[in-house]
């Protein structure tokens, strides 16, 4: 799969058929199950999915942070041509926090409560640069200013508890940017924040990306955040990417029934209030014994009998080079279904309109 423009330029990060398994009492948990994607410098990839879809494990593995949790990792994670999966720990440590940086969801538990914010920033700088403490402190103050903390020369000596939630997340971003990374991975960077603060933080990440030319991977459960930030979006379900496309395309012409389900289950500011939400039925699947065939088939209103047997591959969609989808329905059928849904049909009505049996009939034993 290719993402982004300029095929002549090599991607900064290329993940190939990544699989991550954890051993548990009940069996192997297939947290990431064959994921491939690319990110280029200056571009933003949004990874969207619900709890347990594998989006966080994917990026923790990129930084080698699942190594000590008994994870079995296979596939390749190529960063500037180096495979991070097989890279020795000390070499990986030189890259982590330096060329690849990460922002976590909860800024309070990611900052050490007993050390001053400045001391933690100085540590981040000195971990990768051979500079004096005084120089590193200057850099810390500069970084706090860069992320929009007013009076940074004074605030640098504050403890994390003296910072508000938004300021803490700014401090985390400052720490991530300390060594001007080429790749920034932001895992739910604004989930714990209020909406006005969220808008500021997202704008900050965008501005810094423009100024530093970083590649950004933003992991979120919020389609709105992905729409705001990403150039390309990958939708994950049960450890796999089920659909990927440019952000415009994903919202204008989504092809996977799970993506439809997500889009139709978020309340919208612009819709009529009377319009009912259509939740995705059922619950997220087990990652120990994932459903047979298409992993989404037990929750998919459009599943046909053979979808429980055949496992769809992520395949290109005609007309749009940016879009790939893993769905067993034919493209023409999918597009007509989406049209019917857009016209206000229920899934059952849409199925009838395209001449397919509905879920109950299709699910009945043949």
Binding region for another protein (CB under 8 A): 50-51, 165, 194-199, 202, 221-229, 247-248, 251-252, 261-271, 273, 276-280, 283-284, 342
Contact predicate 60/67, CB 8 Å: no
Q: Which is nearer to another protein, 79 or 296 (CB)?
A: 296
CB of 301 to another protein, least distance (A): 13
Q: Which is nearer to another protein, 97 or 107 (CB)?
A: 107
CB of 194 to another protein, least distance (A): 4
CB of 312 to another protein, least distance (A): 20
Q: Which is nearer to another protein, 98 or 200 (CB)?
A: 200
Q: Which is nearer to another protein, 284 or 305 (CB)?
A: 284
Q: Which is nearer to another protein, 344 or 355 (CB)?
A: 344
Distance CA 217, CA 185 (A): 5
Contact predicate 12/42, CB 8 Å: no
For 285, phi then psi, to 5°, come to -80, 160
Tell me which residue has tokens 């990958």. Answer: 234
Q: Which is nearer to another protein, 275 or 310 (CB)?
A: 275
Contact predicate 244/321, CB 8 Å: no
Q: Which is nearer to another protein, 89 or 194 (CB)?
A: 194
CB of 231 to another protein, least distance (A): 12
For 31, phi then psi, to 5°, come to -70, -40
SS (H, E, C) the chain: CCCCCCCCCCCCEEEEEEEEEEEECCEEEEEEEEEEEEECCCCEEEEECCCCCCHHHHHHHHCCCCHHHCEEEEEEEEECCEECCCCCHHHHHHHECCCEEEECCCHHHHCCCCCCHHHHHHHHHHHHCCCCHHHHHHHHHHHHHHCCCCCHHHHCCCCHHHCCHHHHHHHHHHHHHCCCCCEEEEECCCCCCCHHHHHHHHHHHHHHHHHHCCEEEEEECCHHHHHHHCCEEEEEECCEEEEEEEHHHHHHCCCCHHHHHHHHHCCCCCCCCCCCCCCCCCCCCCCCCCCCCCCCHHHCCCCCHHHHCCCCCCEEECCEEEEEECCCCCHHHHHHHHHHHHCCCCHHHHHHHHCCCCHHHHHCCC
CB of 275 to another protein, least distance (A): 9
CB of 197 to another protein, least distance (A): 8
Q: Which is nearer to another protein, 123 or 206 (CB)?
A: 206
CB of 110 to another protein, least distance (A): 18
CB of 136 to another protein, least distance (A): 33
Q: Which of 188, 221, 190 is nearest to 49 (CA)?
A: 221
CB of 25 to another protein, least distance (A): 15
Q: Which is nearer to another protein, 90 or 270 (CB)?
A: 270
CB of 63 to another protein, least distance (A): 25
Q: Which is nearer to another protein, 100 or 230 (CB)?
A: 230
């Amino acid at each position: 799969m290719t993402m982004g423009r300029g095929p002549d330029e090599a991607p900064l990060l290329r993940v190939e058929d990544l699989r991550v398994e954890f051993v548990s009492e009940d069996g192997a948990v297939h947290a990431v199950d064959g994921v491939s994607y690319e990110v280029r410098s200056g571009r933003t990839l949004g990874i969207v999915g619900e709890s347990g879809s594998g989006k966080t494990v994917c990026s923790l593995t990129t930084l080698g942070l699942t190594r000590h949790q008994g994870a079995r990792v296979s596939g390749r994670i190529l960063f500037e041509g180096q495979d991070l999966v097989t890279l020795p720990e000390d070499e990986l440590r030189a890259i982590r926090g330096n060329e690849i940086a990460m922002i976590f969801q909860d800024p309070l538990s990611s900052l050490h409560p007993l050390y001053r914010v400045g001391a933690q920033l100085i540590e981040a700088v000195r971990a990768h640069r051979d500079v004096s403490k005084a120089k590193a402190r200057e850099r810390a103050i500069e970084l706090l200013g860069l992320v929009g903390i007013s009076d940074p020369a004074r605030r640098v000596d504050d403890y994390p508890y003296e910072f508000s939630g938004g300021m803490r997340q700014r401090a985390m971003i400052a720490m991530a940017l300390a060594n001007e990374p080429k790749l920034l991975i932001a895992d739910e960077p604004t989930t714990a924040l209020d909406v006005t603060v969220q808008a500021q933080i997202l704008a900050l990440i965008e501005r810094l990306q423009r100024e530093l030319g970083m590649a950004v991977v933003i992991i979120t459960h919020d389609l709105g955040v992905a729409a705001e930030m990403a150039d390309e979006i990958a939708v994950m379900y049960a450890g796999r990417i089920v659909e990927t496309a440019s952000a415009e395309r994903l919202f204008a012409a989504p092809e996977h029934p799970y993506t439809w389900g997500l889009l139709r289950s978020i309340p919208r500011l612009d819709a009529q209030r009377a319009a009912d939400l259509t939740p995705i039925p059922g619950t997220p699947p087990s990652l120990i014994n994932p459903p047979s065939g298409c992993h989404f088939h037990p929750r998919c209103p459009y599943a046909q009998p053979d979808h429980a047997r055949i496992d769809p591959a992520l395949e290109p969609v005609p007309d749009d080079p940016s879009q790939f989808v893993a769905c067993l329905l034919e493209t023409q059928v999918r597009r007509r279904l989406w049209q019917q849904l857009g016209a206000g049909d229920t899934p059952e009505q849409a199925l009838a309109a395209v001449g397919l049996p509905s879920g109950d009939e299709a699910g009945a034993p043949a």
